Structure 1
Amino acid sequence: MELPDFMSYANKFTANGFVDKIARIAKMAGAKLVYSALILFYTLQSDKVPIKDKAMIIAALGYFISPIDAIPDAIPIMGLSDDFAVLIFVLKKVWGNVSEDIKEKAKSKLKKWFDEDEMKEINNIFE
């Protein structure tokens, strides 16, 4: 199976589309996926992030909100695994640009959808 060109999804990203998707799938996706997406979303808004990294983030978030995936989101459990893989891949690439302020902002938003026990899974984001 050949992976899609993730940069082709950059034109699919919109802030409203992102918020709509997060709100719709938060519980099903789990705290780790949602936290990863929120960190990328807030990192994108930072003026301290290089344009190259912003391009990767836009592509990853575009893939995340696109209804066309390598593995359709409608497939239980597996449907979001490709989205998560893309988000984590890009998050690792831009991690040096993620400030503590961004992490706290993402955690604060995450608390609206997840309880304290569910929040524990974000402690080891890359595992």
Structure 2
Amino acid sequence: MSERDLPLPIVTTPPNPRRFWSKVRRVVGKVPFVEDLVAAYFCAMDSNTPVYVRGVLFGAVAYFILPTDMVPDLLAMVGFTDDAAVLAAALTAVGSHMRPEHRDQARKTLHGWTEQA
């Protein structure tokens, strides 16, 4: 099946970058999946990534920055479990498209932030 044959329209517009990076800064060092999330973001932003993969990853990133979700992020210890589950599902579905350079870019971006956290 080609991307043109997909039955639903796929949105490949990234979520608000300012909100994404602001939330990443708030949770870096506190949430164990931040590096995967940032790597997924860079993969989704990569124009060489297939459209349907970008759509899935942008959905996971958008869920992360939603102000309301299934389990409020303010709840200690469990607040990000739904975000982790959504990201894990996305990476299970399309993670094979994430390249080493996406992970490297995530590590480099987060390197200074984790030292400050």
Q: TM (normalized to structure 2)?
A: 0.80
* Cα offsets for 1:96-123 (capped at 9, x unmatched): 21111111111112212335xxxxxxxx
Whether contact under 8 Å (2:38, 2:106) holds in the other structure is: yes
Distance 1:77 1:66, change over 3 A: same
Q: Distance in 1 between matches of 2:114 and 2:55?
A: 29
Please give the residue correspondences for 1:105-120 in structure 2 after superposition, counting only pairs within 5 Å: 105-114=105-114
Distance 2:52 2:72 in 1: 28
Match of 2:18 among 16, 32, 35: 16
Taking only the aligned residue pairs, the percentage that are identical comes to: 23
Contact 2:64/2:83 (<8 A) preserved: yes
Runs (5+) with no aligned partner, structure 1? 1-9, 116-127
| Counterpart secondary structure, 1:114 | helix
Gaps of 5+ in 2: 1-11
Runs of 4+ in 1 over 6 A off after TM superposition: none
Query: Residues of 2 paired with 1:50 and 1:12: CA distance?
Result: 14
Offset at residue 13 of structure 1 (A) = 2.1
In structure 1, C-alpha distance between the alignment counterparts of 2:13 and 2:41, rounded to whole Å: 15
Aligned equivalents of 1:85 and 1:29: distance in 2?
13
How far residue 12 of structure 1 moved from its aligned partner, in angstroms, is 8.8
Please say if 1:39 is aligned against 2:42.
no
Match of residue 29 from structure 2:
27
Count of equivalent residues: 104
Q: Residue 71 of structure 2 contacts residue 82 of structure 2 at CA under 8 Å; is this kept in 1?
A: yes
CA deviation after TM superposition for structure 1 residue 47, in Å: 1.5
Distance 2:75 2:18 in 1: 24
Q: AA paired with 2:53?
A: D
**Greater fraction of residues in helix:** 1
